[in-house]
């Protein structure tokens, strides 16, 4: 079932099975939480194998085949996925060991060996190592006596996330490396890749053209253009869902602007521009190679409560007023898009908030969703937001989450359908005022 169907139920038309945004493991079911509690209790009683069975059950995603395990004698052998990386391990009454092969080295180049040695200083539980076949691996092991479920959760999360991030980066930078294992899952069609690539290039060029127009002057209003460029980076991350080099560039764009250094906002904006140009200069074939579906076990983004999202909205929305007053619609729209993208890039917000942010992108980026095959009814014939369809979709999200959040509701009269800019402003302000107090 596609993400669209999971969020909004079956539609009149079959929707494509395309995943958006970064994977999150924040929405654990009651059964998963109970499995983790049992794991902790069994470990305290000294029942190590029982504890590890329940721990693996806690990690299993109900919507994807992310993890499998089997027992042989007194040992549990398990395998799980994090993005494009397969992670394997075993647990018995003496030891727990987990590892993932990141790349294979035909020649032991000092460059990548030094890189990984330095990287090891930043790891708390795991470490990069070479196996006898010259595979670059990331490894964690511990004696069972010290292998409590809480420790395993943190260690396996660290190992899996770093294995997934480093494989594409190392292969792209060091040509003497090759994949340790061939990817057998996640191929997407060339048609989908083509649409995503064209969207990527189109949106970057549009943003740079807006910057080059100089109205208003970027040297006088660098923060306004920073919203546009950062919103673009977050939006591409959510919609294109890149791996490897592109994902690293988008993360670097965020780091450039928020780095605490002596660079002025004007210089930071120009440095971000250079990063986007790197993406435009990259061959299409390189993008296609890094476009594929993944399945994961651990989310990178931390779960947050609605108050964190509220604080983000309250801090950023006032900056939308000036571009609205000056009729700079592109720059005005960038502010709510920045808020939505930032929340999805950095956080795992409460489930109804995540679903409403996804709907926001379906509305504001309706042409993209249609181009990859979705039936998106959220724009009317005049090119304005469709009041009835949007209101219906919002109510459906509220209804589906009301068992957990009984006070979840909104006033449709607060939505402004006069333009996309005004609609986006009113939509984000409604999101801010949602009551997400849980049922007692």
DSSP 369-434: HHHTT-----B-TTSSB-HHHHHHHHHHHHHHHTTT-TT----GGG---S-HHHHHHHHHHHHHT-
Whether residue 437 is contained in a domain is answered as: no
CA quadruple 32, 138, 164, 353: dihedral, nearest 10: 40
Q: Is 179 exposed, middle or buried (0-12, 13-18, 19+ CB in 10 A)?
A: middle
Residues of the chain with pLDDT under 70: 1-13, 439-440
Among candidate residues 70, 61, 64, the one with its CA nearest the CA of residue 90: 70
Predicted pLDDT of residue 439:
67
67 and 149 housed in the same domain: yes
Whole-number Å distance between alpha carbons of 256 and 266: 12
Predicted pLDDT of residue 440:
62
pTM of the model: 0.88
For residue 4, count other CB atoms closer than 10 A to its CB. 22
Predicted pLDDT of residue 123:
92
Whether residue 21 is contained in a domain is answered as: no
Domain of 155, CATH number, reads: 3.30.1460.10
344 and 413 housed in the same domain: yes
362 and 275 housed in the same domain: yes
159 and 289 housed in the same domain: no
Domain count, the chain: 2
308 and 389 housed in the same domain: yes
280 and 134 housed in the same domain: no
Whether residue 8 is contained in a domain is answered as: no
Whether residue 13 is contained in a domain is answered as: no
Whether residue 363 is contained in a domain is answered as: yes
269 and 381 housed in the same domain: yes
Among candidate residues 276, 87, 111, the one with its CA nearest the CA of residue 163: 87
138 and 259 housed in the same domain: no
Whether residue 67 is contained in a domain is answered as: yes
377 and 416 housed in the same domain: yes
Distance of CA 8 to the CA centre of its chain: 20
Predicted pLDDT of residue 5:
43
For residue 382, count other CB atoms closer than 10 A to its CB. 6
295 and 427 housed in the same domain: yes
Instruction: Show the tokens assigned to 190.
Output: 């060339």
Whether residue 331 is contained in a domain is answered as: yes
173 and 196 housed in the same domain: no
Q: Please say whether the beta carbons of 331 and 189 come within 8 A.
A: no
* Domain final residue, candidates 145, 178, 211: 178
What range defines the domain where residue 392 resides?
Answer: 190-432
Whether residue 39 is contained in a domain is answered as: yes
Predicted pLDDT of residue 13:
58
Predicted pLDDT of residue 4:
39
Return left, alpha or beta for 91; rule: phi > 0 is left, psi -120 to 50 is alpha, else beta: beta
Whole-number Å distance between alpha carbons of 279 and 245: 9
Whole-number Å distance between alpha carbons of 377 and 4: 13
152 and 105 housed in the same domain: yes
* Domain final residue, candidates 152, 178, 204: 178
* Domain final residue, candidates 125, 155, 178: 178
């Amino acid at each position: 079932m596609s993400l669209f169907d999971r969020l909004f139920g079956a539609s009149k038309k079959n929707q494509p099975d395309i995943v958006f945004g970064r994977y999150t493991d924040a929405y654990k079911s009651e059964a998963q939480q109970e499995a983790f509690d049992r794991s902790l209790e069994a470990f305290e009683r000294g029942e190590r194998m029982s504890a590890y069975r329940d721990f693996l059950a806690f990690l299993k995603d109900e919507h994807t085949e992310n993890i499998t395990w089997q027992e042989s004698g007194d040992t549990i052998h398990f395998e799980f996925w994090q993005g494009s990386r397969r992670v394997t391990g075993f647990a018995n009454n003496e030891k727990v060991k987990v590892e993932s092969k990141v790349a294979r080295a035909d020649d032991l180049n000092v460059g990548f060996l030094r890189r990984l040695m330095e990287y090891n200083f930043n790891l708390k539980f795991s470490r990069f190592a070479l196996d006898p076949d010259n595979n670059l691996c990331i490894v964690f092991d511990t004696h069972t006596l010290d292998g409590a479920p809480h420790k395993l959760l943190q260690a396996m999360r660290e190992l899996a996330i770093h294995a997934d991030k480093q494989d594409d980066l190392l292969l792209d930078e060091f040509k003497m490396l090759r994949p340790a294992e061939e990817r057998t899952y996640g191929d997407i069609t060339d048609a989908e890749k083509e649409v995503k690539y064209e969207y990527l290039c189109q949106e970057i060029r549009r943003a740079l053209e807006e910057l080059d127009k100089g109205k208003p002057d970027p040297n006088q209003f660098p923060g306004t253009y920073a919203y546009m460029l950062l919103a673009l980076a977050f939006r591409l991350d959510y919609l294109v869902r890149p791996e490897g080099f592109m994902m690293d560039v988008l993360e670097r764009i965020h780091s450039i602007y928020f780095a605490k250094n002596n660079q002025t906002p004007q210089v930071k904006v120009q440095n971000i521009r250079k990063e986007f140009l790197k993406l435009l200069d990259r061959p299409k074939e390189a993008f296609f190679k890094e476009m594929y579906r993944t399945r994961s076990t651990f989310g990178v983004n931390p779960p947050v409560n609605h108050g964190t999202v509220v604080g983000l909205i309250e801090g950023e929305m006032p900056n939308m007023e000036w571009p609205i007053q000056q009729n700079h619609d592109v720059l005005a729209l960038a502010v709510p898009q920045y808020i939505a993208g930032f929340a999805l890039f950095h956080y795992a917000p409460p489930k109804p908030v995540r679903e409403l942010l996804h709907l926001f992108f379906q509305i504001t980026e309706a042409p993209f969703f249609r181009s990859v095959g979705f039936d998106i009814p959220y724009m009317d014939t005049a090119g304005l937001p469709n009041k009835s369809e949007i209101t219906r979709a919002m109510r459906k999200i509220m209804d589906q989450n009301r068992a957990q959040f009984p006070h979840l509701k909104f006033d449709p009269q607060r939505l402004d359908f006069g333009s996309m800019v005004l609609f986006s402003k009113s939509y984000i302000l409604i999101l801010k005022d949602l009551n997400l107090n849980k049922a007692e």
